[in-house]
Structure 1
């Protein structure tokens, strides 16, 4: 019995010690929590500027409607339409200017009231120091706004742990063909 009581006493002391340690520590405010460097060095900001060529007509479209509701064609906003894209990203607005990468992903008409697209894109770079690096965008693109802002939600390669925002401005839009050239200005924080 004395041995059992001694074991119980030892267990109680250990439990009590752990309880005191666990609940006596004050939580650190977020500003005081050390941020790991992840081995990538100091965080920096990169500004990227390029032109996005969305070609929906002709023999080689880069954006293709892959899903639509029965009411999509009757909707003035194209509500319910989903397009998959592989759009070139170029240095200038001319489609023959230097290719910097591709915008790959999808956009879907997600508003019944105005042209409002859900954009889920990867900007896949194929040139220079950003070659094989990716910036990922997920957000709303309101077609009626002169400037549209969407969040950067991640990245890979040079852009690991990316965060930031992208501003889109329509450079040209052909009402007949539906083709568009959009200027993107992207601000990316990364390690």
Structure 2
């Protein structure tokens, strides 16, 4: 009986020691918001599909509910947009913004964005993901979260400040993306 109790106590302490040895300590990294580890500016170009531009379209509405207000509430758009180093749509793309956005407010234009920027150029290889609300109808610039990445951007975090540079109704828009990465590996 006593031998059985020793075995249980020994097993308990051994389990605690094993758990402690496999526990990774977490140290919060401090960020200097004035000194990002990487900083660059990119331009996203979005051309909406409209029945007669299939060859040039980079985005298509996949859900378009009717009668839900004047602000496209409920509309879902899938995109594969070119990303360039300047505002010229015909410039060589350095990345593609692949993902979706949807309109999620009934009282003004507001979207929620989930884009992965896929880089495959001589300068950068890898991806990073932008996910956040984009209240473009209310703010001239909007900060969206960069929540992770791969390759040259492995596990990066930061901010993408978006500014609409050109908008031609619902057919075309160009966004300036001021990218500041604060966690780089």
> Pairwise CA RMSD of aligned residues?
3.0
For 2:86, which of 71, 92, 112 is the aligned residue?
92
Q: Does 1:54 pair with 2:46? A: yes
Matched residues in 2 for 1:81 and 1:62: separation? 16
For 1:166, which of 156, 160, 163 is the aligned residue?
160
Unaligned runs of 5+ in 1: 23-27, 36-43
Unaligned runs of 5+ in 2: 19-23, 30-35
For 2:180, which of 159, 162, 187 is the aligned residue?
187
Query: How many residue pairs were aligned?
Result: 172
User: What TM-score results when the alignment is normalised by the length of structure 1?
Assistant: 0.77
User: What TM-score results when the alignment is normalised by the length of structure 2?
Assistant: 0.80
Equivalence map 1:4-153=2 (5 Å): 5-11=1-7, 13-14=9-10, 17=13, 31=27, 45-56=37-48, 57=50, 59=53, 60-72=56-68, 75-131=69-125, 133-144=126-137, 145-153=139-147
Determine which structure has the larger helix proportion and give its number: 1
After superposition, what is the alpha-carbon deviation per residue over 1:42-71, rounded to whole angstroms, capped at 9, x for unaligned? Answer: xx8221311111111551211111112232
Shift of residue 14, structure 1, vs aligned partner: 2.2
Matched residues in 1 for 2:16 and 2:97: separation? 54
Matched residues in 1 for 2:173 and 2:5: separation? 77
